[in-house]
Structure 1
Amino acid sequence: MKNWLSLLLLCIALGLNAQQQPQYTQYLLNSYLLNPALSGIENYTDVKVGYRQQWAGLQDAPKTAFISAHWALGDEYLWANALSFETDGNNPRSRSYTQNYTASPAHHGLGFVAVSDKAGQLSTTTFDISYAYHLQLNKQLNFSLGAAGGITRMAIDVNALLLENPRDPALNNAANARLLPDLSVGAWLYGASFFTGLSVQQVLPQKLSFSGDEQYNTGKQVPHVFLNSGYKFYVSEDLNVTPSLLFKYVPNVPLSVDVNVKMGFKDRIWIGAGYRKHDALNMMAGFNISHLVNLSYSYDVTTSVLNQASKGSHEIVLGLLLNNVYKVVCPQRQW
């Protein structure tokens, strides 16, 4: 057992202002995980189920599983007709689609996300319900504001820890899980060819205490700020390229920067690649199987000092497009 990794992860969780939210490589396809303002952005119920294995090959390395869903409120569809869609229901991401793009009317959106993250002997489970309001700024531009609230459960598997002192006072109350309130807020500006979003997770400061002795209860949750943006260019009628950036700020931690590019052909297949500063190179690919199902996979090549032991990180996401009246086979408001 690589106890050094378990100890490192535990120290980060309890005593340092380090990254406390899971890492996602495929954020571009499900920015809802980072920003509640996307609730109800699509014209169908957008469901995603995913799993991530961080640093494969390292025992007790982080593992993350999630399920998310969001939808627009009301019985009316966001677009009154399908003029920009082909008659058979397909909707290629072509120039003609962009030319016929219309902003959705003002509407409300709801959603939920459940995330289970295990790093070493520390387990974190979060369940949030989200709400967003989408404004129509003009014929081709929308702006939305959203918030998500819920509860986070944090627990330590003390039986799996190898301690020099089994009665370590820093963990004398670790057998009891902690229930903490959770709050996130965000804003999202989007049109046919671009998006820009700003969000903050863990808005409410919470102390992470696993000891009855106050001198050991110095750990705390800290806000995580996400700023991401992207723009879609057309190489040909049916071939598009979308470069994007993601900046993640956590107090007392170096700024995290993701640079990605995604290339899509019509509405069926896409490939992508990216770089996370001082962390990893990644490769991605996805296939929109039908108007009901899509599937994507990414692999991160570790570039940090962990590359001596890590075999990289894997992430797979299954998407469902429920109540998909126009039978589009690719997302319309996400990229």
Structure 2
Amino acid sequence: MKKILLLLAVMYGCYIASAQQRAHYTQYILNNYILNPALTGIENYTDIKISARDQWTGMSGAPRTAYVTVHTPLGKNDTRTTATSFEIPGENPRGSSYWESYNAAEPHHGVGMSIINDRTGNFNRFTATVSYAYHLGITARTSLAAGFAGGITSVGLNTNGKAFFGSDPADPAVGGAVARELRKIKPDFSAGLWLYSADYFVGLSAQQLVPQKLAFVDDATFKTTGKLVPHLFLSAGYRFLLNEDINALPSVMVKYVSGAFKHDYQAEINVKLQYRDLLWAGGSYRQFDGYAAMLGLNVANTVNVGYAYDFTKTDLRTYSKGTHELMIGFIIGNRYGDTCPRNVW
């Protein structure tokens, strides 16, 4: 029993020491709130996102991630576009006339919450946090938001998986005592800033803000100890009006995680093309990893759907059938008839 416990602790220690510890997302450009709590309450409505990601399909023990995020503004009042708050017939709601009349946000608060479950092999990571942000117009067209989030992260053994334990999840060698020893609950904190205007955004955030040890055994002969390290995200994007109906939104994000990548950082480049406020398509490149294609649809002013397919250029391409990611969004309390976010992405 003790040998098995040590073996599992070694495997997880190696995992958290040599890889990004937080889940990957391809469609974060549609939900930057998942990475930066400063976006809490940025829109005029309650924003709900539900996502499922199946990474490296076809491989046993490959990561599977699911999350739900909810955030809403408090005391936010913006000018309506029309008397009925819906778009003017024949005019693109995201065309030049709208952006010429764009104003910075009035001072307001935002509150939100996120629930994330990430399973890799036989280890499961569950995180639940609540967030707060304050938004303030610093010029006539530019706003700055600052936010933070706090909650818990539970890292434990998933004995229902078959990546390491074979086909019998009831094996007593990995049941009961081992599962309890390999479940640790840690505090989770993040913070961020978000500068945004009619045409651009710049964001900086940190997750796992407080470094923490993650040891599963108490044994003087066991020298390897895992560690939860901060994850830093710097992102920026700019919006171009190609014509009255089509917008182009290139963006970039750089992640810094000590020990996770070559030189500890990884860059991602995205391009999103949006037709009016109805359809969008895009692509991305993730340094040291691969490429992704994305497609989305806004259904009236209540529901939006996005899908992404990733294919890796690493040696895993021989075994993996790619990565699928689906996201469904719901807009609640949409008093202004928005069919997509007003703030750039």
Q: Settle same-fold status: TM greater than 0.5.
A: yes
Structure 2 segments unaligned to the other structure (5+ residues): 1-7, 167-171
8 Å Cα contact 1:172-1:210 kept in structure 2: no
Give the aligned partner of residue 316 of structure 2.
306
Q: Which AA in structure 1 matches 2:184? A: R
CA distance in 2, matches of 1:79, 1:237: 23
The change in CA–CA distance for 1:222 and 1:323 in structure 2 (over 3 A counts) is same
Give the aligned partner of residue 77 of structure 2.
78
CA distance in 1, matches of 2:100, 2:11: 49
The change in CA–CA distance for 1:231 and 1:306 in structure 2 (over 3 A counts) is same
Give the aligned partner of residue 238 of structure 1.
245
CA distance in 2, matches of 1:45, 1:209: 39
- Residue 184 in 1 paired to residue 224 in 2? no
- 1:181 CA drift (Å): 0.3
8 Å Cα contact 1:55-1:310 kept in structure 2: yes
Number of equivalenced pairs: 323
8 Å Cα contact 1:39-1:70 kept in structure 2: yes
Cα shift readout 1:160-211 (whole Å, capped 9, x = no counterpart): 5449xx989xx96754521110000100000011000000000112211111
CA distance in 1, matches of 2:57, 2:10: 17
The change in CA–CA distance for 1:321 and 1:88 in structure 2 (over 3 A counts) is farther
Q: Which AA in structure 2 matches 1:318? A: I
Match of 1:220, SS state, is strand
Cα shift readout 1:198-236 (whole Å, capped 9, x = no counterpart): 000001122111112153451010000000110010110
CA distance in 1, matches of 2:342, 2:10: 42
> What does residue range 1-335 of structure 1 map to in structure 2 within 5 Å?
10-14=12-16, 16-74=17-75, 77-83=76-82, 86-87=87-88, 92-157=93-158, 161-162=164-165, 175-214=181-220, 215-216=222-223, 218-253=225-260, 254=262, 255-335=265-345
The change in CA–CA distance for 1:67 and 1:288 in structure 2 (over 3 A counts) is same
8 Å Cα contact 1:172-1:212 kept in structure 2: no
CA distance in 1, matches of 2:256, 2:123: 22
8 Å Cα contact 1:91-1:329 kept in structure 2: no
Q: Which AA in structure 2 matches 1:265? A: Y
The change in CA–CA distance for 1:69 and 1:158 in structure 2 (over 3 A counts) is closer
The change in CA–CA distance for 1:91 and 1:72 in structure 2 (over 3 A counts) is farther
Structure 1 segments unaligned to the other structure (5+ residues): 1-5
What is the RMSD of the two structures over their aligned residues, measured on CA atoms? 2.5
8 Å Cα contact 1:188-1:195 kept in structure 2: yes
CA distance in 1, matches of 2:179, 2:335: 52
- 1:88 CA drift (Å): 6.6
CA distance in 2, matches of 1:178, 1:90: 54
Cα shift readout 1:78-127 (whole Å, capped 9, x = no counterpart): 20332596247996211111111111101111100100000001100000
8 Å Cα contact 1:230-1:243 kept in structure 2: yes
- 1:10 CA drift (Å): 3.1
Q: Which AA in structure 1 matches 2:198? A: A
CA distance in 1, matches of 2:86, 2:200: 20
Q: Which AA in structure 2 matches 1:178? A: K
8 Å Cα contact 2:13-2:225 kept in structure 1: no
Q: Which AA in structure 2 matches 1:185? A: A
Q: Which moved more, 1:244-253 or 1:28-37?
A: 244-253
The change in CA–CA distance for 1:18 and 1:91 in structure 2 (over 3 A counts) is same
